Amino acid sequence: MKHTLSVLVENRPGVLARIAGLFSRRGYNIDSLAVGRSENPALARMTIVVEGDDRVIQQVNNQLDKLIEVVQVRDITGEPVVERELVLVKVKADPATRGEIIQIVDIFRAHIVDMGRNSLVIECTGGEEKINAFQDALEPFGIREVVRTGRVAMVRGARDTDEEEEHG
């Protein structure tokens, strides 16, 4: 099962390498990773998607907690969240196929961000399934290049992603 971890870390050089090294040394595979500055410039937030059972995820959490640069680790799998990925796709688009591609862009609420003589660059955001379906729809036209971010996720509602749920 894929788990989504929200990891708050110090925003300084080398932190990403330490965390990636931890995953590598322990043999955990990162399915996707997105990192960016948080609302506090001194901290960065990582969204890490890792596959494993509950025991493996607990080991990952424990190992991350040992790193001094890690401020907080939270498994937000199964919580109500907003999740998005971004993909840029460069697809072959000659005059005969361009109209059909534009219809697909509209269906997926994507955007054409660059147009060449025989190609289009299209951006699309959404959940993993939407992005996969979008790529599948463009595949018959000839995808020339794909750049895809990892998942980013935020807990829905008034509670922050960094807040632990209160029990009791």
Q: pLDDT class for 51, splitting at 50, 70, 90? A: very high
Q: Which of 13-17, 48-52, 158-162 has the lowest mean pLDDT?
A: 158-162
Q: What is the pTM of this model?
A: 0.82
Q: pLDDT class for 164, splitting at 50, 70, 90? A: low
- Condensed to tens digits (0 to 9), the pLDDT of residues 25-49 reads 989 999 999 999 999 999 999 999 9
Secondary element (H or E) of residue 92: strand 81-92
Q: What is the pLDDT of residue 157?
A: 85
Q: What is the pLDDT of residue 123?
A: 98
Determine the Cα–Cα distance for residues 120 and 122; give it in Å rounded to an integer: 6
Determine the straight-line distance between the first and last CA of the chain, rounded to whole angstroms.
28
Reading the block at residue 111, the tokens are 């955007």
Q: Is the CB of residue 85 less than 8 Å from the CB of residue 126?
A: yes
Burial of 95 (0-12, 13-18, 19+ CB in 10 A): exposed
- Condensed to tens digits (0 to 9), the pLDDT of residues 85-130 reads 999 999 999 999 999 999 999 999 999 999 999 999 999 999 999 9
